[in-house]
Structure 1
Amino acid sequence: MTMNLFNQFASPNNFGIPLILIAMVFPWITFLTPSNRWITNRVTSSQTWFLKTFSKQIFLPLNPTAHKWAFLLSALMLFLLGMNLMGLLPYTFTPTTQLSLNLGLATPLWLATVITGLRNQPTASLGHLLPEGSPSPLIPILIIIESISLLIRPLALGVRLTANLTAGHLLIQLISLATSAMLSSSIFISMLTFSTLVLLTLLEIAVAMIQAYVFVLLLSLYLQENT
């Protein structure tokens, strides 16, 4: 039973082709390319409005030097949002439930923010390792603690995204199994569990969008510290 529950998080293969690659490419197909026409359709207009609102929300508190990351972080937001929402459809696979993929996204981007800070403002970046006004006997301990908290950031980014999506998918599968099991014994209880399943699915849609936003938001905060 336990293995069956966690089998949904194993990367499927079909004819020797890992389907995780198709799941990662498919979200880009759903987003329309910009048009040079005066009047666009509703989907393109909504997509443009979303990107402008997201960019304004993320980069408003950042310095102008950090605005070069607008295209990268916007593309990352669309990529994560597409994969998270596509994974809620039946007979699909969610690549962001894989910790290796999330760490592969978080580690290079976090390292790029650190390198940017060390290149542009090395004194201020190294100054984050020691809070101002620290007692002299505590300086070595504080530097070690701050260094560990700095190095653990990409792990926290990847684990947060993986854990939230994995927990939601497990709850959906458990409640759906309970709904099908109760169908033969009690229609009323089965309808109650089904209504719970619908509400949980709506909550999981919100979690999928929020976690993609939080992932990019934390990267922008790391970038703000280093620019």
Structure 2
Amino acid sequence: MVIFSIFDQFQSSVFFIVPMIFLCLSLNVVWSFFLVSESWSKSRFFVFWSGFVGLALKLIFQTTSVKTGPWASVLFTVFVFILSINVMGLFPYLFTSTSHVSITFSIGFPLWLGVNVLGFYFSFGSRLSHLVPQGTPIILIPLMVWIETLSLFAQPLALGLRLAANLTAGHLLIFLLVSTVWAFVDVFCVFVPLVGLFFLLLILEIAVACIQAYVFTALVHFYLQENF
């Protein structure tokens, strides 16, 4: 029995002797060239990208304020980053890194910490007042402070676990269904319906990948609104 190191999951995958990290970096560089149009007429890709940016910003910032406006570029970058990883992870032989809690917490915790540190820095009194909801009886104030404090520190856990758990569950369903399809490959009357069910599940997982990227970004935006 071969026992692999627990650190093997952090090693870069290789595609035809070339590390995947170099291919990803090259793809990012090539991608940036398509976003810049030197011609007076806009290309189809540029029109699509502009429409996608406008739609994403409209969804993320449905209810916002002037103080949260400067965070638009950061939140949109996080949204596109998570969306790209989620969707690309559905391709064969690719690992969805956002299904790993170490990655989701690495993204969620710094965003949550930065938002709250800035919130306490710019409006310390307002942030403390959120620990005691309006109309709370005096006898319940100590209990409410503890509950609100725990809910505050539970926010990064919600960011990381929600994203990782939903993607992991979807990938497990796909794996189990593919295993079942492969087991009944010789039984035509069972194989065909299972293949159809697989494609329906794949469409559902693409939708889940998009929704989870939006939910993650929307939660960060909600925490941002609470602090500003």
Q: TM-score, normalised by structure 1?
A: 0.87
**Could you say what secondary structure the match of 1:144 adopts?**
helix
2: CA distance, partners of 1:139 / 1:180: 59
Separation (CA, whole Å) in 1 of partners of 2:67 and 2:90? 37
Query: What percentage of aligned pairs have identical amino acids?
Result: 37
> SS where residue 216 of structure 1 aligns?
helix
Show the counterpart of 1:198: 199
Provide, for residues 170-195 of structure 1, a one-character-per-residue CA deviation record: whole Å limited to 9, x for no partner.
110110110010112x2111111111
Q: Which residue matches 1:211?
A: 212
Q: How does 1:25-174 map to 2 (within 5 A)?
A: 25=25, 28=28, 30=31, 32-174=34-176
Alignment gaps of 5+ in structure 2: 1-8
**Paired residue secondary structure (1:208):** helix
Corresponding residue of 1:5: none
Q: TM-score, normalised by structure 2?
A: 0.87
Q: How many residues align?
A: 217
Distance 2:111 2:54 in 1: 22
Deviations 1:6-50 (A, max 9, x none): xxxx456447x9x68568757745563332432222122111111
Instruction: Quote the Cα distance in structure 1 between the aligned partners of 2:41 and 2:82.
Output: 29
Partner of 1:4: none
SS of 1:133's partner is coil
How far residue 70 of structure 1 moved from its aligned partner, in angstroms, is 0.8
* C-alpha spacing 1:25/1:141, structure 2 compared with 1 (3 Å): farther
3-state SS of the aligned residue for 1:164?
helix
User: Which moves more between the two structures, 103-112 or 118-127?
Assistant: 118-127
Amino acid at match of 2:91: L
Residue 177 of structure 2 aligns with which residue? 175
Distance 1:76 1:22 in 2: 21
Moved more, 97-106 or 43-52: 43-52
Tell me, in whole angstroms, the C-alpha distance in 2 between the residues paired with 1:11 and 1:27.
21
Aligned counterparts of 1:137 and 1:30: Cα–Cα separation in 2: 59
Q: Which residue of 1 aligns with 2:223?
A: 222
Give the Cα separation in 1 of the matches to 2:24 and 2:122. 34
Residues 60, 214 of structure 2: 8 Å contact kept: no
Cα deviation, residue 52, structure 1: 1.8
Matched to 1:150, the amino acid is L
